[in-house]
Amino acid sequence: MSLKSQLNESNIPRHVAIIMDGNGRWAKKQGNDRSFGHEQGVESVRAALEASVEIGLEFITLYAFSTENWNRPKEEVQALMQLLVQAIAMETPTLLKQNIRLTTIGDVASLPEETRDKLQECIDVTSQNDGLTLVLALSYSGRWEIVDATKKIAEQVKEGKLQIEDIDEDLFGTSLNTSNIPDPELLIRTSGEYRLSNFLLWQLAYSEFYFSEVLWPDFRKQDLVDALKDYQSRERRFGKISEQINK
Ligand code: FPP
């Protein structure tokens, strides 16, 4: 059965965000070091992207490296940065073939030069693609992003370009890294952890959450479909009552 035929085509979310968790535990369970789990996690990224294209999602955001991840052992951080460079180099032809555009959110300036350069190269060559947009959250945290947006707005007020009365939710939203990206309708977190871990704090205000027991390196296309099926069984009320939604 195709992935799409398992879903209600009139209720496919535009944007799914994923906290890819469990790489370290997956590797440890088999007596390997944590970085092996991250390497295997790239295969799951591949599967998630292929499934997203088949299903027809417009945006997928992957939490690849948080601001807090800088505090991990130096060797693990280096291995992750190296893996990113390798994965991007390897996957760029596939992104082009699948009409996927790459973009990033987060404090990308804090990444090592090699990682930044590889990312920029891939962003440039995929910029004309108009299928799925892959948003990689790198050196990202929701609180960092909110503070960053606040600074930009304060600067504009200071320069007299903006009145305090003009600050509203729309303006704040456009000052975030995600200004041209719709809020995710669905957040998925793998590995049986039930936390947000500082991810997309503003954007997830009305998203549905789906927690899976699967460790990220085991995540495959059907796991994404299962999450979407669960999403499609929910009633999104946005603060209203059921009768108002269904009339
Ligand atoms: C969380 O698992 C995972 C990460 C911090 C890194 C995610 C990176 C990848 C999947 C590979 C590179 C990605 C791309 C986009 C090419 P964890 O280490 O916190 O696992 P644990 O909770 O079991 O310790």
Contact call for residues 12 and 29 (beta carbons, < 8 A): no
**Strand-pair partners of 1:** none
- Annotated catalytic residue, options 32, 69, 129, 198: 69
Tell me, in angstroms, the distance from the centre of ligand 1 to residue 132's CA: 22
What pLDDT sits at residue 218?
98
Q: What is the pLDDT of residues 11-45, one digit of tens each?
A: 999 999 999 999 999 999 999 999 999 999 999 99
The pTM is what?
0.96
Which residues have any ligand 1 atom within 6 Å of their CB? 20-25, 34, 38, 41-42, 45, 62, 64, 69, 83-84, 87, 136, 191, 216
47-89 tens-digit pLDDT:
999 999 999 999 999 999 999 999 999 999 999 999 999 999 9
Which of the following is catalytic: 21, 23, 177, 223? 21
Per-residue pLDDT reduced to its tens digit, 158-199: 999 999 999 999 999 999 999 999 999 999 999 999 999 999
The CATH code of the domain at 4-142+182-233 is 3.40.1180.10
Does the annotation count 130 as an active-site position? no
Name the residue among 199, 222, 221 with its Cα closest to residue 209: 199
Q: How many other CB atoms are there within 10 angstroms of residue 77's CB atom?
A: 15
